[in-house]
Amino acid sequence: MIWGSMLQAGIAEIVVDFRMDLTDLDGKPLTEISIGDQMLLNVYTQDLRNIATGGVFAAYLDVHYDNRVLEVNGPINHGSLYVNGRSGSFATPNLIDDIGGFSNGLSADLPFAPVGVGEYLVFSVPINAIGLGNFNLVGRPANNSPFYDVLVYGENGPVQPEDIAFSQLFQQSIVQNSVRYGAISGSIQPVPEPTTIALVSTAIALLFLSRFLQKSLRKTLKELLCSTWSANCIAVLQR
């Protein structure tokens, strides 16, 4: 996979990370994608503060994609940890809007106990490959505060957008019969159409060939006549 990040180290103190991953419908890593293939977009989150009593309590985000090559094909499967306040909309083209939920804890006995610093699935959603070309999957902070703020255990206020990193999938390529992605980031080019010069050259060549064949055919017919009516041979050949 090629992973990118919204933020670079040193610009801000990254508190929460969202990571995106594409798999097949059985959860296996992808090595090829063809038009018509069905995939799962999986988004995970993690508290990067490295505090045992920490964890991401509320995890919401927007995911932008190119609907010329991808088609979201729901339903949303929310992770087992983020089953409260479930949200997510496909109403806007190119956007999975305000998707996520908040934590129910690791067990029924301690429903709101901190989940810790592990990485947890926020949601997965089916996606179809419908067109050729490169595509990006880009995470952004949800923009409907305070309803879809990102929250962590041990802090009263929301995590600020500049303190959230989105590890993104980018420069993936869908091809007609197979797709390769990861370290390869080339675009798929169609077979070039013949140029005007090439078409004119071909037409001229065909014209000369046609005239040559007509001349050869006339000569063959004349020789045949000469062999049949020898008396008229000289006259025919002279025409």
Indicate if the pLDDT at residue 75 is higher than 80: yes
Range(s) within the chain of domains with CATH label 2.60.40.680: 3-174
In this predicted structure, what is the pLDDT of residue 167?
84
For residue 91, name the pLDDT band (cuts at 50, 70, 90): very high
User: Which residues does 70 contact at the CB level (< 8 Å), separation at least 6?
Assistant: 127, 128, 129, 130, 131, 135
| pLDDT score for 221 | 42
CA distances from 35 to 39, 41, 50, 83, 176 (A): 11, 16, 41, 33, 6
Amino acid 89: pLDDT:
95
C-alpha span between 146 and 100 (Å, rounded): 14
Of 81-85, 117-121, 193-197, 201-205, the range with the lowest mean pLDDT is 193-197
Q: Report, as an integer, the average pLDDT of 58-65.
A: 96
Q: Please say whether the beta carbons of 139 and 168 come within 8 A.
A: yes
Separation CA 42–CA 47 (nearest Å): 17
CA distance 175 to 1: 17
Count of other CB atoms within 10 angstroms of residue 91: 6
What is the rounded average pLDDT of the residues 87-98?
94
Q: Report which listed range, 115-124, 188-197, 213-222, is most confident.
A: 115-124
Please tell me the class of the 3-174 domain.
mainly beta
Which token pair is 91?
């109403």
First to last CA, the chain: 77
Higher-confidence residue of 207 and 100: namely: 100
Q: What is the average per-residue pLDDT within 170-181?
A: 52
Whether a cis peptide bond, with omega within 30° of 0, leads into 194 is no
More confident residue, 92 or 6: 92
